[in-house]
Amino acid sequence: MTLRRIAIALAACAAAAAGGLAGPATARADTPASYVALGDSYTSGPLILPISPSAPLDCLQSAENYPHLTAAALGLSLSDVSCAGADTSNMTTAQFADQPPQFDALTASTRVVTVGIGGNDNSTFLTALAGCSAIDGIAGAGSGDLCALAYGNKFADQIAADETNVAGALQQIHTLSPAARVFVVGYPDILPQSGSCFSQMPITTADVAYLNGVELDLNAMLRTAAGQNGATYVDTYGASVGHDSCQGESTRWVEPLLPSTDAVSAHPNAAGEAADARAVEAAIG
């Protein structure tokens, strides 16, 4: 073979190799990264309209919750399996007949995972909020800290014990989606930092402080579990201070006992989900 033919052959090989590399790389760049959202009602955004058409009605999932908003803002391909009432066990066991284990959505190609769980484990949020509202609502606004006296360290102990379950869930996410970046999303501020609004949330000032401590314990546990298990903690609490359920309708991000907008009581409204989305988007970058 002459030098000219060798040069032509080498050039052809180089062009073919370049084309082979450029083609798939371009395709991958044009394909939205896969994003799986796992979680409970603080993720699913129950009753915030419009309802997501791709989720079971049991889950009361909104098409305007933070996973949907985040996916749209960052150009991600979303699989949102968050569901109202879910706890850590529902990551691996079916919650409803039409809602399989949430981890079924995870694949080896998943690149981003957000998970918002923990509040329903041991019925912590439900028992704390409903229990305190019942006790204080019957006793009256000036009844002191009857709820704190009734429950004591119960919630703190349950939250501490639940860290093992959350850690195990995060480890399983890494096993099922080893290439994914994992983000643990905390809970926003539900009650004011001081005082109370007994007509909107029938909880005394002293018990508001007690319940704030419960939520801070939960978020601290989630932050620790994330840090020790290869995940990034997303703080939604700090930005939400001053936007709690006691604030005016135009200010609050969490609804009071009787919601005035499309949302569930003591849960984020549309503005709250949008605020959570901003925090998640910033974390994902």
- As annotated, the active-site residues are 41, 267
Count the Cβ atoms, other than its own, within 10 Å of residue 95: 22
Amino acid symbol at 206: A
- Distance from C-alpha of 150 to C-alpha of 165, rounded to nearest angstrom: 26
Q: Which residues of 145-166 are buried (b: 16+ CB within 10 A; e: fewer)?
A: bbbbeebeeebbebbeebbebb
DSSP symbols for 77-146: EEEE---TT--GGGGTS-SBTTB--GGGG--TTEEEEEEE-SSSGGGHHHHHHHHHHHHHHHH-TT--SH
Beta strands in the chain (DSSP E): 34-39, 77-80, 110-116, 181-185, 232-234
User: CA angle, 44 as apex, 239 and 279 as ends, to 5°?
Assistant: 25
Q: Determine phi and psi for 3, rounding to 5 degrees.
A: -60, -35
What is the distance of C-alpha 211 from the center of its chain?
A: 20
